[in-house]
Amino acid sequence: MAGSPSIASLFAQRIVIGVGDLAVSNNKDVVLSTYALGSCVGIVAYDPAVRVGGILHLMLPESSIAPDKAVRQPAMFADTGLHHFFRELAGFKAMASRLKLYVAGGACVLAGTDTFRIGERNVRATLDLLARSGCRTPVQDVGGFHNRTLHLDMGTACVTLKTPQASTQCSLAS
């Protein structure tokens, strides 16, 4: 019957990644989700060879502003978070050279001028670190003035990006 849920969707598990956190999985019945990416940046990574993926939700570009916090919560910062994220993915046999990447967020969500330009700095730090890590150029939806939500369906390797205006999908399977 059209519109009926599939058996797989009835048993799917959603894992929500909070601000300054990450999750990695190889379970095809899992959907990874992170919400309310304003100036924060969400990085989705997927290795199609081993069917491993994850999401990192980082908040700030550089751990040097709070080294003690970076030790306790490395995923909060681009520099420590990406390193930690890649290490977690590698634990599932993912390889940086095979990763398909999707980067979203980095918006300017403050009313008026954003003196610190955190969103812009988060995006720049993330893209620079990814390039230095030898990763492929990611699919991007960054900047602007609206928040974003990301979902990674591990069974299909499909990324869904939701904004207040629209919802789009992108496959990281190949």
Domain spans of the chain, in order of start: 12-168
CB of 72 closer than 8 Å to CB of 66: no
| CATH, range 12-168 | 3.30.1330.200
**Six token digits for residue 50:** 């081993």
User: 133-148: per-residue pLDDT in tens?
Assistant: 988 888 999 999 999 9
Is 149 a residue whose pLDDT tops 80?
A: yes
Q: Which of 25, 136, 22 is nearest to 83 (CA)?
A: 22
Burial class of residue 166 (count of CB atoms within 10 Å of its CB; 0-12, 13-18, 19+)? exposed
Give yes or no for a contact between 42 and 56, defined as CB atoms under 8 angstroms apart.
yes
Residues 3-52 pLDDT 10s: 666 666 666 799 999 999 999 999 999 999 999 999 999 999 999 999 99
What pLDDT was estimated at residue 112? 60
The model's pTM is 0.91
